[in-house]
Structure 1
């Protein structure tokens, strides 16, 4: 997922890849009503990026009819458009394709997950401290010794006054 906001050149580059990826999915799901959320789950592309890419090609729309989910973007897949785009080579495939079975990835922790993890860690630490404090004898420190009086090395002797 690219960092946002994208520059104009970055948007063109990513849009080309997104278009290629979406065309592959459209080829698989021809004749179906597909939502942008479904495409996002299948492709790993953010819903906003899918919608912006498909709006430029006039293939994405929100419907107000009761049989559709309000606020959801629906994609109109036309076989002729998909075939034409695939034939003309719209969208550039990536230079390097990865084997998804060999990639190990874990999603980054969001803020609430991070805070919950911190709370669990803090609770574990306090329980460890409590169990250790029951088994440990208190630390005894020696009494402080009184400070040694230091005499000044040089004493100022009074000078006689001149008359």
Structure 2
């Protein structure tokens, strides 16, 4: 008889434990369903925030490209000045060539991703210019020609992204 009472006690405990846990599961399910509705509402709000952030990021990228393009143009003008005043000093021209490369590198990836045609057009004259400017004995005639081409392309690009 004692065995029967023990077995009944164990069965009763198992049923009570199962009953309690199923109530907790129901509460979780109710909370999850409410959370899903809240998440859907939040998702719509996040979507509109995402649209605003995209517009802000496009504007920010455009500003970065514009200021980066201006910096490249400024370095090109510095190179022109150095050619006019220090044509014999290859070290100054090499340093300016490195500055030009660094200023272009700052915006290169964005230009390549967002304006691939302009990127190819600019680099047709920019890379030979950088290469020539960094030589031990730079060819000033070639540099002047490439510099003028590159400057025109950069100004046209800056005007394009500014509008």
Range into which the TM-score falls when normalised by the shorter chain = under 0.3
Structure with the higher fraction of residues in helix conformation:
2
TM-score with structure 2 setting the length: 0.26
Structure with the higher fraction of residues in strand conformation:
1
TM-score with structure 1 setting the length: 0.26
Which structure has the larger Rg? 1
